[in-house]
Amino acid sequence: MSDISYSPKSARALNIAVCHHCHQLVRGHGRCSRCNTLVHFRKPDSLTRTWAFLIAAIAFFIPANLVPIMNIKMLGQGEPATIMEGVILFIEHGDLPIAIVIFVASVLVPLLKIVALVFLLLSVHFEWARTARRKTILYRIVEFIGRWSMIDIFVVTVLVALVQLDKLASIEVSEGATAFCFVVVLTMVSALCFDTRLIWDIKEESTKGNKR
């Protein structure tokens, strides 16, 4: 089926809104008949809020990668290590699986999430109507991996606990970890602020334009 010929009416076009809290369908906007929450056709100020949290996340992404995230000491000697230095250190010690988990969870995933959200925001901003379905899938992926983003902090915490048992080595968490937590939380909130229906609104507008 051609992407353009498919043009179902949106709920908004039928004057129906969904309650963000309990998912009850409500005629018009106002208050939800079930839980009395204020109902909107679209998340209010979705684009502005998503941009704001995303820019803050990008700002924290820089110190999260440049400031030491952990302090690794072997035989009493050692120095603070950034995420990448930590990854290299684990590779040098033959702990490849841990190095891969840390690299994927703390460098690759946050970076790809930020890039994906910037792309989605730009696509709404500049009204790129094509591939709406793929963009929605991209958003679902971003939203899904969001809940796994804290795995890196979890790995560092487990490492700290494990290595403390070893008399010869120790790991302490450094300031970079706080910046990293901010990146994770801010990208999660940013993704939550984004309303995927904006993608379909553009699609609807462009379909109407094509029919005219």
Binding residues (CB under 5 A) for Zn ion: these are 19, 21-22, 24, 32, 34-35, 37
b/e per residue, 58-87, with b = 16+ CB within 10 A? Answer: bebbebbbebbbbebeeeeebebbbbeebb
Which is nearer to Zn ion, 32 or 98 (by Cβ)? 32
CA dihedral 79, 88, 82, 120 (to 10 degrees): 180
Nearer to Zn ion, 38 or 122 (CB): 38
Residue among 13 and 35 whose Cβ is closer to Zn ion: 35
| Nearer to Zn ion among residue 35 and residue 62 (C-beta) | 35
Angle at CA of residue 91, ends 88 and 96, nearest 5°: 130
Minimal distance in Å, beta carbon 27 to Zn ion?
A: 13
Classify residue 140 by burial, with Cβ atoms within 10 Å: 0-12, 13-18, 19+. Answer: exposed
CA gap 16, 40 in Å, rounded? 10
- Position 79, amino acid: E
Q: How far is the CB of 21 from Zn ion (least distance, A)?
A: 5
Distance in Å, CB of 15 to Zn ion, minimum:
17
Shortest Cβ 66–Zn ion spacing (Å): 44
Smallest gap from Cβ 139 to Zn ion, in A, equals: 23
Nearer to Zn ion, 22 or 162 (CB): 22
